[in-house]
Structures are given as C-alpha cells and as structure tokens.
Amino acid sequence: MKNTNEVVPRRNRSWPALLALGLAGCAVGPTFVPPQPPKAGQFGADALPAGTAQAQGVAQTFVPGGPVPDRWWTGLGSPELDQRVRQALEHNPTVDMARAALTRAQENLSAANGGRYPAVTAGAGVNRENTGPTGAVTTPYTVFNATVTVAYTLDLFGAVRRGIEIQQAAADQQRWLLQGTRLALAANVATASIQEAGLRAQLEALEAVVDLLREQEALVRRQVELGARGPADLLAAQANLAAAQTPLPGQRNQLAALRNQLYVYLGRFPAEGGLGSLTLDGLTLPRELPVSLPSDLVRQRPDVLAAEAQLHAATAQLGLASANLFPSLTLSGSYGGQAIRGGGMPASDMTVWNAGLNLLQPVFNGGSLRAQKRAAAAGLDQAVAGYRATVLNAFANVADALNALQADAETLAAQARAEQAAARSLDLARTQYQLGAIGYPQLLDATRLWQLARTGLAQARTARLADTIALYAALGGGWTSK
C-alpha cells in the first residue's frame, strides 16, 4: 500500500507538468521577421526634382515625405468624380468578392485558434442487449450510458501554433488584397473618367473641324457658282469634308464604350443611366504632389504588404512541415455513467472513466514528410523572390510616374504653343483665301494643322491628369490609414 500511495501523487503532478510543457513548447522552424525597407535613397536614377515644368500656367511641385491623402481623387475638384468613386467603392462586385474573401480568411483563423484549447464532446446512448456479463443469452435488457470526453494535443513543437500563424498571415494578405482592390478600383474610375473627358475634348475638336470644313465647302461652292473657282476646288472641299466626318462614329463609339466600362466599375448596368459627364475644364490639376520617402513605400503599398503576408505564411508553412517530423502527444479522458434496466437483470448504476496519453511518432512514410519540408523551403524561397519582385516593381512604378509627369508638362507646354500658332495660322489662311491670295490646298493644310494641334492638346491634358492619378496609386493611395 505504501508503494501505491507513492505512485499516485507523482502521477497527479505529471498531468499539469505535461500540460504546461504543451503550452510552452518550442516551435521548430524559422521565425518570421518582417523584411527591412530597401536602402535606396531615391526612386529613380536621378534625384527627385523640385517639380515639373510650367504648362498652361500650372507647375506641379513635389513634396518629399508628404502624406498621401486617403481621398486623393478629391484633389481634382470634381463633384461628379467624387460621386463616381464613392458609388464604385460601395457597389462594385469585385470589392464585394475581396471583402468576402477576407471574411472567409478571418473565419478560418478563428477555426484554427480552436486548436489552442481542449476538445470536449458529450455523448449519450441507449442499447438493447440480450447477452449477460458471462456471455450467455438472457432476457433482453436496456443499457443507458452518457459520457463526456476531453482531448488535448500538446503543442510541443509548434504544429498548432504554426497552423494558426499560417491562417493569420492568410487573413492579413486578404486584408491588404482588399485594400489593393479598392485602390485599383478608385484609380481605374478616376483614370477612365479623365479619359472620358479627354475623348470628349477630342470629339469636340473634330466636330469643330467638320463645322469649319463645312463652312469652307459652302464658301468654295459660292465661288464656283460665281466663276471665281473651278469645279476641282469644290470636289476637293467635299472630299475633305467627308474625310473629316469619317472618324466621328468611331470616336463616339469609343466614348460610349468607355462610359459602359465606367458603369461596370460603379456596379451598375448601362441601361440604368444616371452617369453625369465630365470635361477637362471641369477637372483641377493638383499643384502639390506628395512623394513618400523610399523607406516608407513598402509600408504603404497594399501589394507589397500582401506580398509580405504571403512571405509570412510561407515561413510558417516551413515551420509546420518541420514540426510534423516530430512526435505528437495527446491527452485524453472521459467520464460518464452507465445504467442497466429490465430483462430480469438486477438494476445497476455505475460510473465509468478513462484517461490516457497517446504518442504518435512518424517512423516510415516513404520520405513524404521530408519531401514536404523541402517543398515548404522552396515555397519560402519563392515567396522571398516574389516579395523582392513586388518591391522592385513598386519603386519602378513611382519612378515611371514621376518621369511621366515631367514629360507631360513639357509636352503640354509644347502642344499649347502649337495649338495657339496653328489657330493664328488658320485665321490668317482663311482671310488670305477669301481675298484670293492663296489657293484651297493652303487653306486645307492650315485647317489640318489646327485639327492636329487641338487634338494633341486634349491628349496632352489628359495624359497629365492621368499620370497624376498614376502617381497617387503608385504611392499606395493613402489606404494605410483605413
């Protein structure tokens, strides 16, 4: 009896010790450490300039380290654009898909967190039997039983924690993918709206040229009737008028297709209507543009943060594959009661229980576990390379946007000068033609030059606005504050 009494207390002390060991066990495999920001001091090959050249009286100034506004599109000063972006963020199905994916990832994380706690199950049953305790056949009787079972896996090597870590990283990735979806959608709506305004300006320029050529055709017709011009001039005027009218249907179709795409961004059917119109004159070019520090960019871009979360998941996956090589211990126990009634059997009530410790150690599995670990290591290398590629692309996006803005300002300034010179040249040619100082070919050349200059001016204004949007998007769009 003395030996028995010595064994029982020692066994009772071992259960808490094993539980503490399971809770505080070490996690094998690598521990994730967020990547350090790039040491690059600038985005492009050249240092950041103070700003762009002046075009149409506006020069854009770069503000190093300036914060990117959350609602950066409001800087264009268009209530119509503000309304479009708001409707898109509220109703676009792509955003709904990304939001549902985030909810799914968060619920998977909640499910994985359940592994931290013991699993408790309850069971009850009723059986009719006709076999007695000795195995002999007896009068049928009823057995009632009810039990509660508890099982807990000791996380000695971090398999449970690594599984939770994987799901946490997946939830983080989906959160940043949602932010990236919102950023891309806002940028797409803003860019498409600017392109719509640019197409409308080009269409107006083309229609103005058609109206001018129609006036010229009428003028030539009167001169032919008066005998001042020959039929060849009239045929040339009619041919040029028809040629100028030819692109109109295509331009209108392109504008309609762009508006249909805008309806898709807004999560609406084109037949619903309600989409207002935008003009280039109704958009304000922001004069000050924030340019984040290179070291801050990786904490602002949703795609970079999503790549970092993927890197975190790959690191945890390697830890899980490493933990699977080690044994797992499971504590289990059950407690309940059993009652026998009827069949001539004496009524009996008893308490039943059991407790156990199970160990599972992989011995031979054809090398699959080690192959899975090597695959996880390769997956980690892939995630590292993917993260680096994402960061490199992010820096290139910002550098491209900055270069484009400088080129846009120079192009716009040149196009503005060209349009002004072409307009003056056309006025002079019309006067000279009416006086008979030049022929119709010279007038037509002046008209074509004005058309090209006016169309080029609209394109240059569109590009400058669109590249401003591209810079906001390249810098992460201010979504880190949400």
Tens digits of residue pLDDT in 468-477 = 999 999 999 8
pLDDT at 25: 57
How far is Cα 38 from Cα 26, in angstroms, rounded to an integer? Answer: 32
Q: Residue 407: count other Cβ atoms within 10 Å of its Cβ.
A: 15
Give the confidence band of 340 by pLDDT, cuts at 50, 70, 90.
confident
pLDDT at 343: 65
Q: Please write the tens of the pLDDT for every residue from 2-54.
A: 333 333 334 444 444 444 444 445 788 899 999 999 888 889 888 889 999 99
Distances in Å between the Cα of 9 and the Cα atoms of 13, 358, 362 are 6, 21, 32
Q: Are 301 and 292 a contacting pair, CB within 8 Å?
A: no
More confident residue, 321 or 134: 321
Token reading at 193: 């709206």
Catalogue all structural domains in the chain, each as residue range(s) with its CATH number: 27-112+160-326+368-481 (1.20.1600.10)
Distances in Å between the Cα of 75 and the Cα atoms of 12, 191, 207, 288, 471 are 70, 14, 31, 10, 13
* Of 60, 61, 59, 57, residue with least CA distance to 416: 57
Give the confidence band of 314 by pLDDT, cuts at 50, 70, 90.
very high
How far is Cα 339 from Cα 362, in angstroms, rounded to an integer? Answer: 41
Can you tell me the mean pLDDT for 274-290?
Answer: 92
Strand partners, 63: 290
Q: In degrees, to the nearest 5, what angle opens at C-alpha 21 toward C-alphas 354 and 331? A: 20
Give the confidence band of 77 by pLDDT, cuts at 50, 70, 90.
very high
Token reading at 295: 């070291």
More confident residue, 133 or 105: 105
Distances in Å between the Cα of 97 and the Cα atoms of 91, 100, 101, 177, 373 are 11, 5, 6, 11, 33
* Of 65, 84, 83, residue with least CA distance to 294: 65
pLDDT at 134: 67
Give residues with Cβ within 8 angstroms of 162, minimum separation 6.
Answer: 27, 29, 316, 317, 319, 320, 323
- Answer yes or no: is pLDDT of 113 > 60: yes
More confident residue, 438 or 26: 438
How far is Cα 276 from Cα 196, in angstroms, rounded to an integer? Answer: 11
* Of 30, 55, 316, 34, residue with least CA distance to 170: 316
pLDDT at 10: 40
Can you tell me the mean pLDDT for 167-180?
Answer: 96
Q: Are 141 and 340 a contacting pair, CB within 8 Å?
A: yes
Q: Provide the whole-model pTM.
A: 0.85
- Answer yes or no: is pLDDT of 430 > 90: no
pLDDT at 158: 87
The long-range contacts involving 130-135, CB below 8 angstroms and separated by at least 24 positions, are 130/343, 132/345
DSSP run (H or E) holding 330: strand 328-341
